[in-house]
């Protein structure tokens, strides 16, 4: 048993974009991926779930190898046990909240009856405080409720790693603070290793403990949140941390 | 002419041309309905060719629809999943039977499957012959109507967000479960209207059927062929059959509108468990 949750070293080509990703995540680590638009953050997440096939490299999730170009081995997405929330949360619009979660419960418990699976699905919804929305379709849920349902659904598939692609970007500005603090509490409670793409300084500060800066398809720096803010290596990072290399950013951070 | 007069004249022109278009589209249908009184409609059914043609049409168009659904759905899924120029070329190639004249379709079917063709000869050694059979009717109908379903199904599957399908996979579902639980239900309203158009086209198929399957009453004489035949001898029978076909067409149109509306409201709101 290793203490890392994720170890990635892959090269992926998607269209004209080349991703050269090296990343290692600790067992309960929450890592933020930041970087300018087009630096490959979302492609990195989609590569991990198996939507893009790397040209070469290895991906380990915990102590399981899910991709190795040398063997060759490429587990299909359904066998990787990686929870993934896209920017818009990816809820199935024709299914109720409970049916959305039941879809994931069924993967782990195919032998259960439909009512047993729905019962478990409602328990997951209840755990995140949205059991009241069980019969409603995603189209009538608020942004915050959608995020909770999507999170409940991802958890119902019992993942060993959680990927969140800009979890706040689909929300109205006014509700972000509240949703963010709920998400923070939930992630801290779950103790599930998490890799999240972030665009806002506030998201990184409250949701992550370490941060990787991406540029042109590669990770250029990884550090703790405090450290990264102290010495931003690129122009983008300076702007992101709302500081400049000459200033003393600690004061800004507090 | 003042500016106000110009605007009024322009508006009058638009109304005039629009009215002519409406007249052109609806007048023949109105004429058919008005000239076929209830007694003519009933009398038309006494022609011995009418009922067999009706049943044959229902049977063959339903079979051809089932064939299009069974074979067309997987192909549409394959094409919708792929991208690039080859896929675009394939897609327009499959749409060709929609565009070519029915007479050409008839010739093509005849020289490919007919008795004097290589395929026809192979079938003959097995004791089978397609020409002048019910199977030939179904084949002709499917050839011209399947592309209607195919093109609707391709765009239906393509409009399903591929992100949803990757999320479905990441939740532990295999490709089959993602297809049946996510892609198919989301595409269903568009698939339904494609199927309705396909069925309507089969029901109305005339040229290719006439040339490839012939016009044998009770065996290959579908409703459009019966109308064509009755036109010379029994106008009332032709009218009765025409009314039936118009009603079927109306049903298809209302059905597709209803399906589209249902699909929209299903995604926007509603509760279910």
Chain B CB contacts of A51 below 8 Å: 166
* B164 to A51: CB separation less than 8 angstroms, yes or no: no
Task: Tell me the C-alpha distance between A151 and A171, whole Å.
Answer: 15
Partner-chain residue, chosen from A50, A107, A118, that has the shortest CB–CB distance to B173: A107
Supply the DSSP symbol for A176: H
Nearest chain A Cα distance for residue B266, angstroms: 6
In the numeric block, which tokens belong to residue B121? Answer: 């000869």
Chain B CB contacts of A139 below 8 Å: 267-269
As a whole number, the mean pLDDT across chain A is: 89
Per the CB < 8 A criterion, the answer to whether B95 and B147 are in contact is yes
Whether the predicted pLDDT of A170 surpasses 60 = yes
Per the CB < 8 A criterion, the answer to whether A21 and A82 are in contact is no
* B170 to A103: CB separation less than 8 angstroms, yes or no: no
Predicted TM-score (pTM) of this structure: 0.85
Task: Tell me the C-alpha distance between B112 and B115, whole Å.
Answer: 9
pLDDT in tens, B168-212: 999 999 999 999 999 999 999 999 999 999 999 999 999 999 999
A101 → chain B, closest CA residue: B171
B219 in A contact zone (CB under 8 Å): no
Continuous H helices in B133-234: 134-158, 162-170, 175-178, 184-204, 207-212, 223-233
Supply the DSSP symbol for A91: -
B271 → chain A, closest CA residue: A136
Measured N-to-C along each axis, helices A114-127 and A97-108 cross at an angle, to the nearest 10 degrees, of 110
A134 in B contact zone (CB under 8 Å): yes
What's the rounded mean pLDDT across residues A12-23?
A: 92
Whether the predicted pLDDT of A233 surpasses 80 = no
Identify from A48, A91, A94 which residue to disrupt to test chain B contact, counting B C-beta atoms within 10 A and taking the largest count: A94
B189 → chain A, closest CA residue: A94
A139 → chain B, closest CA residue: B268
Per the model's pLDDT, the better-predicted residue between A152 and B1 turns out to be A152
Helix (H, G, I), strand (E, B) or coil at A186: helix
- pLDDT for position A239: 75
- pLDDT for position B171: 97
Nearest chain A Cα distance for residue B95, angstroms: 29
* A136 to B271: CB separation less than 8 angstroms, yes or no: yes
- pLDDT for position A245: 46
- pLDDT for position A252: 47
With cut-offs at 50, 70 and 90, classify the pLDDT of residue B235.
Answer: confident
In the numeric block, which tokens belong to residue A136? Answer: 């409603």
Task: Tell me the C-alpha distance between B28 and B38, whole Å.
Answer: 18
Pairing of strands A56-61, A64-68: antiparallel
């Amino acid at each position: 048993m290793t203490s890392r949750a994720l170890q990635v070293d892959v090269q992926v080509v998607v269209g004209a974009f080349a991703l050269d990703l090296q990343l290692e995540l600790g067992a309960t680590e929450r890592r933020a991926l930041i970087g300018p638009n087009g630096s490959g953050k979302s492609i990195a997440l989609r590569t991990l779930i198996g939507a893009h096939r790397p040209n070469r490299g290895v991906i380990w999730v915990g102590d399981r190898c899910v991709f190795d170009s040398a063997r060759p081995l490429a587990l299909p997405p359904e066998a990787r046990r990686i929870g993934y929330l896209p920017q818009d949360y990816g809820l199935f619009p024709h299914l109720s909240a409970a049916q959305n979660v039941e879809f994931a419960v069924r993967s782990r418990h195919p032998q259960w009856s439909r009512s047993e699976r729905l019962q478990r699905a409602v328990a997951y919804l209840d755990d995140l405080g949205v059991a009241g929305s069980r019969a409603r379709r995603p189209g009538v849920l608020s942004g915050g409720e959608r995020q909770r349902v999507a999170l409940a659904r991802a958890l119902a598939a019992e993942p060993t790693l959680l990927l969140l692609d800009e979890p706040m970007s689909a929300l109205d500005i006014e509700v972000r603070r509240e949703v963010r603090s709920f998400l923070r509490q939930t992630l801290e409670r779950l103790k599930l290793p998490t890799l999240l793409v972030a665009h806002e300084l506030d998201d990184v500060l409250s949701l992550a403990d370490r941060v990787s800066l991406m540029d042109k398809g590669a990770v250029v720096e990884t550090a703790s949140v405090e450290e990264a803010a102290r010495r931003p290596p690129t122009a983008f990072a300076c702007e992101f941390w709302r500081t400049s290399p000459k200033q003393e950013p600690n004061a800004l951070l507090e | 002419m003042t500016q106000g007069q110009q605007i009024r004249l322009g508006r009058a022109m638009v109304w005039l041309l629009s009215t002519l278009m409406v007249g052109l589209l609806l007048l023949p249908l109105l004429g058919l309905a008005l000239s076929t009184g209830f007694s003519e409609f009933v009398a038309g059914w006494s022609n011995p060719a009418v009922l067999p043609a009706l049943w044959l049409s229902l049977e063959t168009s339903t079979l051809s629809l089932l064939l299009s659904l069974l074979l067309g759905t997987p192909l549409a899924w394959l094409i919708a999943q792929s991208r690039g120029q080859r896929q675009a070329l394939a897609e327009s190639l499959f749409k060709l039977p929609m565009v070519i004249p029915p007479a050409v379709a008839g010739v093509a079917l005849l020289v490919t499957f007919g008795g004097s063709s290589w395929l026809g000869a192979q079938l003959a050694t097995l004791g089978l012959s397609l020409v002048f059979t019910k199977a030939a009717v179904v084949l002709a109908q499917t050839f011209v109507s399947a592309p209607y379903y195919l093109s609707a199904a391709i765009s239906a599957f393509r409009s399903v967000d591929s992100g949803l399908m990757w999320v479905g996979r990441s939740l532990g579902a295999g490709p089959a479960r993602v297809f049946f639980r996510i892609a198919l239900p989301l595409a269903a309203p568009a698939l339904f209207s494609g199927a309705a158009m396909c069925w309507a086209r089969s029901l109305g198929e005339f040229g290719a059927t006439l040339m490839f399957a012939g016009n044998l009453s009770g065996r290959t004489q579908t409703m459009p062929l019966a109308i064509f035949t009755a036109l010379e001898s029994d106008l009332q029978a032709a009218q009765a059959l025409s009314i039936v076909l118009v009603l079927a067409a109306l049903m298809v149109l209302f059905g597709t509108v209803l399906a589209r509306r249902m699909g929209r409201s299903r995604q926007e709101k509603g509760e279910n468990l």
